[in-house]
Amino acid sequence: MGPHVEKHFTASETVRDIVIGMSDGLTVPFALAAGLTGAISQTHLIVTAGSAEIAAGSIAMGLGGYLAARGDAEHYAHEQTIEEHEVQAIPETEAKEVSDVFQTTYGLSAEECAPVVESLRKRPKDWVAFMMRFELGLERPDPSRAWKSALTIALSYIVGGVIPLSAYIFLSDAHSALRFSVVVTLVALAIFGGVKGHFSGVPILRSALQTSIIGGLAAAAAFGIARWIS
């Protein structure tokens, strides 16, 4: 028997960013194009408006992802500074908090915790890292997380937005393009959901169905609002 190899999915943040970008990209440009279809017969105008929305939306979404990731990093740094100060200023209190974590979370006795607590007290950096993770529940963020998140969300939004808009690029009749766009968007949502399920460990069929239904309802609601306004 070969060595046991554990397989765990470790790209949850990237998948989350792709989901954010793709889901919005598939619904918002579709709703805009669908809403314009009732008022404009020229597909090239719809493509122009849709392209402008994709450009603006991808920038806005990417910036939002960047600021969110930067906020997480700044929050971690702030809490780390506090923990470093407390380890130096009130070590007995912090040591008790370590013991409390082991006793309340893992059911260890005070005697079983004592050697671990003493070992951490001799290693301040590890002590702070322990408090950050197990007391505050914070993981050290990737330093490059902010720009990676921004780029992933923006590109995913562009890819998602081009899919429903492609029908208006290849078809000259706006109403025919709308019908084709609905089909293409639903198929894309199903494929996207299946891929997401594969990487996140969720059954592929269930993930595809959920994504199609949720995305379809979101697109339908956005379409209805856009048509009502126009």
Average pLDDT of span 15-43: 81
**Is the pLDDT confidence value at 58 over 90?**
yes
Helices (H), the chain: 12-37, 43-89, 91-106, 110-121, 124-130, 145-170, 174-200, 204-229
* 113-171: pLDDT as tens digits: 788 778 877 787 887 887 888 777 777 777 778 888 899 999 999 999 999 899 898 88
178 versus 221: the higher-pLDDT residue is 178
* 91-104: pLDDT as tens digits: 788 888 878 777 77
Residue with tokens 């000259």: 172
Beta bridge partners of 173: 42
Average pLDDT of span 45-70: 91
Average pLDDT of span 213-226: 73
pTM of the entire predicted model:
0.74
Q: How far is it, in rounded angstroms, from Cα 184 to Cα 164?
A: 6
Q: How confident is the model at residue 9 (pLDDT cuts 50, 70, 90)?
A: very low
Picking from 40, 38, 26, 5, the residue whose alpha carbon sits closest to that of residue 158 is: 26
Mean pLDDT is highest, among 122-126, 217-221, 223-227, for 122-126
Nearest 5°: the CA angle 154, 159, 160 is 95
Q: How confident is the model at residue 5 (pLDDT cuts 50, 70, 90)?
A: very low
